[in-house]
Structure 1
Amino acid sequence: MARTHSFYDQEATYFVTMTVVYWIDVFTRKEYRNIILDSFKYCQEHKGLKIHAYVIMSNHIHMIITKDRNKNLSDILRDFKKHTAKTIVKSIEENREESRREWMLWMFQKAGQKNPKNRDFQFWQQHNQPIILDTSEKLSQRLGYIHDNPIKAGIVQDAKDYLYSSTSNYHGVKYNLLEVDVLR
């Protein structure tokens, strides 16, 4: 039976979910989604992260990932979450046009106070919920789940129309915000 909360097999393919504390809808703003995309690109280029599929929803992200040799998935995601948390919170603090700024910062601070590992705030929930995808059925099911997320949320009628997803990469659409290692 596969464990569901640790990266025990560093060579495996994983389905991962990262969720904002209290399910706050941070990623309704383009600038915060772009921080995620830029951080994905950095991790791909410099940390050995291989992203096979992803979707950025309003308050969470799903991915199918692996990594290059001599890298550790836990370390990559820890660094990703730490960097994006600091960068997004700073962007919220500096964004005078952000109508929910005071409320979001208060919520992140409240979450941080509940966690002894944090000093000032907490942006992401602690867990990544990694699920090992060790069969083609599991892989296919999770890939479909990721790409259908925006449809089920009522955002688009066709998954290819959602920009913040790898669906376009799998359908040969030329406009991709992030290159992924397509699963064959």
Structure 2
Amino acid sequence: MSRKYKFRDNDKLYFVSFSVVYWLDVFIRDEYRLVLLDSLRYCMVNKGLEVYGYCIMTSHVHLVVGSQQEPLQDIMRDLKSHTSNQLKKAINENPQESRKEWLLWLMERAGKKNGNNKGFQFWQQHNHPIELHNNALLQQKLDYIHQNPVEAGFVSSPEDFTYSSARDYAGEKGLLDIMLIE
């Protein structure tokens, strides 16, 4: 992994993205998106994670985050570890999941290829954090996050996508209590 992308300054905001191994479309089901949202809420309340923007796509997540408490790399590590375990459990226990065996097999396969894991891997290894050192870059990343579902053809307007902070920025109530950038 490149050393170029690291959380260097905890006083800054960061754009982070993380993807499911093999870019698997896991987040097509609400119950899996809710696991991720619950974990984000937990980190916000208990670890000091500040979320300024988010979008949960089918195979990946984009966030604009900061923290005045715990180091961001620790929060992201814990978030990914916890959601990995919870999502594995949710997939395994979901009687409606027709892809269960295939998904779990691919995630076990990815885990066995990676010595950092114990035979299972849900998320790809990296977060690719980008420090948002000015307002123009921050706005560019928020626009990118909010346009992602539009570009994918899921909705025609960013605020129509339920699993995004675009609703909050359009004056509507979103699913997370985010911190708005004015």
Instruction: Give the equivalent residue in structure 1 for 2:148.
Output: 149
Whether contact under 8 Å (2:10, 2:68) holds in the other structure is no
Match status 1:122 vs 2:121:
yes
Q: CA deviation at 1:96?
A: 2.1
- Tell me the C-alpha RMSD between the 2 structures: 0.9
Instruction: Name the residue aligned to 1:44.
Output: 44
How does 1:7-86 map onto structure 2 within 5 Å? 7-69=7-69, 71-86=70-85
Query: Is residue 181 of structure 1 aligned with residue 176 of structure 2?
Result: no
Deviation at 1:117, TM superposition (A): 1.2
Matches of 2:135 and 2:5 in 1, distance apart?
21
| Count of matched residue positions in the alignment of Structure 1 and Structure 2 | 180
Structure 2 CA distance for partners of 1:4 and 1:183, relative to 1, 3 Å: farther
Aligned partners of 2:93, 2:172: CA distance in 1, in Å? 35
Identity %: 47
Quote the Cα distance in structure 1 between the aligned partners of 2:132 and 2:60. Answer: 20
Contact kept, 8 Å, 1:4 with 1:130, in 2: the verdict is no
Rounded to whole Å, the distance in 2 between the matches of 1:29 and 1:152 is: 20
Q: Structure 2 length normalisation: TM-score? A: 0.97
Q: Secondary structure at the match of 2:55?
A: strand
Unaligned runs of 5+ in 1: none
Residue 108 in structure 1 maps to residue 107 in structure 2? yes
Matches of 1:31 and 1:22, distance apart in 2? 20
TM-score normalised by L of structure 1: 0.96
5+ residue gaps, structure 2: none
Residues 13-39 of structure 1, C-alpha deviation per residue, up to 9 Å, x if partnerless? 100001000000000000000001100
